[in-house]
Amino acid sequence: MSAFVGPDRFSVGQSSRELHLHDISPHLGALPAGIIWPRITEEVSHILTWTYDQGIPITPWGAGTSTEGNPVPTRGGLVMDFTRMNEILEIRPQDLQADVQPGVLRKELNRQAGKYGLFFPPDPGADATIGGMIANNASGVQTVKYGATKDYVLKLTVVLPQGKVIHTGCKAGKSSSGYDLTRLFIGSEGTLGVVTEATLRLTGIPSHHLAAIITFDDLESAARAVSVMIGSGLEPAALELLTPGLISLMNKEKQVGLREVPSLFCEFHGISKVALLETSGLARELTQSCGGTSFRFGVEEREREDLWRARHEAWETIHRAHQGKETLIVDAAVPISRYPEMVIFSQQLVEERNVAGYVFGHAGDGNLHVVMTGDPKDAMEWSALEDINDRIVTRAIELGGTCTGEHGVGIGKRKFMELEHGQSYHLMRRISELVDPKRLMNPDKIFI
């Protein structure tokens, strides 16, 4: 490897290799032979030319925060870690754009873009890399207003499995020039090549925001209020559903002092306080008509930050409350009108089966999470969780939805791909075989 990078950027040390063996899921990989940290596109190109020739599997690695085994090396080989390829190359405030290397962390990009009053909105909670977010098409709490990662990528530099460097897209705000190869690479989880540079769209930081907490006596009313709010065109910047079980854990761990009843956290962004007060007045009327029992808006800045931090750390909170257990995460998404039945179906399953499961989600875009905890070595316990996951995903697909709203397919959701996509799944496989005939790029992901 010294032909490609300096000795400080290649390791065969046991601890580095073990650190790259798993993400936050229970999916375990095969110990890679080594870890390599490239810094520039040319290095990546030289490495891939060699690994392709030698038939060595390559697994790209960002921050390792995936939930489905997406960056887990299943066949050993080489892990290509992008954390040292982390320069913000240029921010062009006049174009609302930034050119970045793939290892740039989302929070760092926002710190730098913030100096110009701009930000990169997709927010998966975790401090993920831009490369990992592109590869998973990540999104988060503000997607309901601002969109997902795919909506912010204009142009990519990609190194193909054989080492060839290509550029997709352009820096114009729109283009109808041929196939949209940029979108092909977004969400491809490193199976088609490696992203080494991206031009991202940025947007202005909203001048005013207003957070609100709305409570309900029952879960169905809370879920129905979500589709009514979205249908009314109110355009919340975040609309999250929380159920009493999760709120109870948040209260215990974070002392956020919330009522332990079905609740919506929402936020509105706007150009003036007056406009926001008008919007929140309408939101209050709408949610009251759906059975909202209390509507607290104008949440103070400090409390707002505490609440969002607590929400972002929901997975960690659940994990800590169930020490020694692993998590299986449902990430289904459905059309917004079908959200209430999806939520009720999922909550009932968790209760009927008496498993440790917490229902919540990015409700505003129909995305539902159920985080369930158990021991994968306990076959009975784990298969009960798998069965709940299977049933929820199958129902979501029947309702016109998807097995994964934001976490990607990885290893965990591969079994649903054919059901969800039918013949399109086979076309995806043919594309992957065309680009990577030896199937060396992040093998065993997306496809079974």
Residues of this chain that bind ligand FAD (CB under 6 A): 23-24, 59-67, 70-71, 82, 102, 124-126, 128-129, 131-133, 135-136, 138-140, 189-190, 194-195, 315-316, 406-408, 442, 445
Which residue, 132 or 245, has its beta carbon nearer to ligand FAD? 132
Which residue, 326 or 406, has its beta carbon nearer to ligand FAD? 406
Which residue, 39 or 445, has its beta carbon nearer to ligand FAD? 445
Which residue, 82 or 297, has its beta carbon nearer to ligand FAD? 82
Write the secondary structure of 16-75 as one string of H (helix), E (strand) and C (coil). Answer: HHHHCCCCCCCCCCCCCCEEECCCCHHHHHHHHHHHHHHCCCEEEECCCCCCCCCCCCCC
Instruction: Report which residue's Cβ sits closest to ligand FAD.
Output: 132
CB of 224 to ligand FAD, least distance (A): 23
For residue 308, give every residue at least 6 positions away whose Cβ sits within 8 Å of its Cβ, in sequence order, or none: 141, 211, 265
For residue 276, give every residue at least 6 positions away whose Cβ sits within 8 Å of its Cβ, in sequence order, or none: 208, 209, 210, 268, 269, 270
Which residue, 290 or 392, has its beta carbon nearer to ligand FAD? 392
Give the DSSP letter string of 141-185. TTHHHH--GGGGEEEEEEE-TTS-EEEEE-SSS----S--HHHHH
Contact 360, 246 (CB under 8 A): yes
CB of 32 to ligand FAD, least distance (A): 12
CB of 274 to ligand FAD, least distance (A): 32
Check the CA dihedral 416-422-428-430 and report its sign.
positive
3-state class of 398 per DSSP?
Answer: helix
Which residue, 41 or 97, has its beta carbon nearer to ligand FAD? 41
CB of 303 to ligand FAD, least distance (A): 21
CB of 141 to ligand FAD, least distance (A): 7
For β-strands 10-11 and 165-169, DSSP reports them as unpaired
Task: Please report, for residues 12, 363, 400, 405, 416, the alpha-carbon distance to residue 332 in angstroms, rounded to integers and kept in the order given.
Answer: 38, 11, 11, 6, 11
CB of 122 to ligand FAD, least distance (A): 8
Nearest to 62 by CA among 71, 53, 52, 50: 71
**Which residue matches tokens 């960690």?**
316
CB of 34 to ligand FAD, least distance (A): 16
CB of 15 to ligand FAD, least distance (A): 18
CB of 117 to ligand FAD, least distance (A): 25
Which residue, 61 or 416, has its beta carbon nearer to ligand FAD? 61
Query: DSSP label at 89?
Result: E
Which residue, 131 or 245, has its beta carbon nearer to ligand FAD? 131
CB of 312 to ligand FAD, least distance (A): 7
Contact 68, 137 (CB under 8 A): no
Neighbours of 301 (CB within 10 A): 9
For residue 84, give every residue at least 6 positions away whose Cβ sits within 8 Å of its Cβ, in sequence order, or none: 9, 37, 38, 39, 103
Neighbours of 204 (CB within 10 A): 13
Which residue, 329 or 399, has its beta carbon nearer to ligand FAD? 329
CB of 264 to ligand FAD, least distance (A): 17
Which residue, 131 or 292, has its beta carbon nearer to ligand FAD? 131
Which residue, 70 or 182, has its beta carbon nearer to ligand FAD? 70
CA distance 186 to 195: 9
Write the secondary structure of 341-365 as one string of H (helix), E (strand) and C (coil). Answer: HHHHHHHHHHHHHCCCEEEEECHHH
